[in-house]
Amino acid sequence: MMSDESAPLECVAFMLIEDNRVLAEKRKLTKTLVPGAVALPGGHMEGDEDPEEALARELLEELGIVARGVAYVCTLLHRAEAVRKIHYFAVERWEGEILNREAEALLWVPLDDAHTLDLAIDRVAVREYVRVYRPTSWTTS
């Protein structure tokens, strides 16, 4: 059993989905966690936020958009400098133009090429999205 001091750090990550592609970010080299990695965007939950509130805040802070179609995908544990509990969401509809407010670069990755994401946990989450929400569009690559 974990004490509160060793409880996982709660986070959210999101997959913007458009035309069978997922939006990824190339993280800035100045980031302390996986600098330079190509990963799904997201961030820490703050205060008493629930995952959906954190998702809405992170989408606005990082990309300047408001989600209009959100689906819960999965929750995974990830060990970095601390254990993180990451709640993954898919966003298939949104309002606003996507702006790059935090990353080195944004790039659209075909779902079939999700194996090129740098973090294994993100690859697992994208596979889970495809398995649950798009089972007929997945290849075995």
What is the spatial distance between Cα 110 and Cα 44, in angstroms, rounded to a whole number?
A: 26
- Band of residue 1 on the pLDDT scale cut at 50, 70, 90: very low
Q: What local confidence, expressed as pLDDT, does residue 79 receive? A: 85
**Does residue 110 lie in a domain region?**
yes
> Secondary structure of 51-117 in the HEC alphabet?
HHHHHHHHHHHHHCCEEEEEEEEEEEEEECCCEEEEEEEEEEEEECCCCCCCCCEEEEEEHHHHHHC
pTM of the shown model: 0.89
**Does residue 87 lie in a domain region?**
yes
Average pLDDT, rounded, for the chain: 91
Question: In this model, does residue 140 exceed pLDDT 70?
Answer: no
Give me the mean pLDDT over the 57-73 stretch. Answer: 97
Domain that holds residue 46: 9-134
In the DSSP assignment, the letter for residue 2 is: -
Q: What local confidence, expressed as pLDDT, does residue 103 receive? A: 95
**Does residue 72 lie in a domain region?**
yes
- Band of residue 55 on the pLDDT scale cut at 50, 70, 90: very high
What is the spatial distance between Cα 118 and Cα 122, in angstroms, rounded to a whole number?
A: 8
**Does residue 139 lie in a domain region?**
no
Give me the mean pLDDT over the 110-121 stretch. Answer: 95
**Does residue 70 lie in a domain region?**
yes
**Does residue 2 lie in a domain region?**
no
Segment 16-25, tens digit of pLDDT:
999 999 999 9
Q: What local confidence, expressed as pLDDT, does residue 139 receive? A: 47
Q: What local confidence, expressed as pLDDT, does residue 138 receive? A: 46
In the DSSP assignment, the letter for residue 130 is: H
Number of independent structural domains in the chain = 1
- Band of residue 137 on the pLDDT scale cut at 50, 70, 90: low
CATH of the domain at 55: 3.90.79.10
Q: What local confidence, expressed as pLDDT, does residue 42 receive? A: 95
**Does residue 43 lie in a domain region?**
yes
In the DSSP assignment, the letter for residue 46 is: -
**Does residue 84 lie in a domain region?**
yes
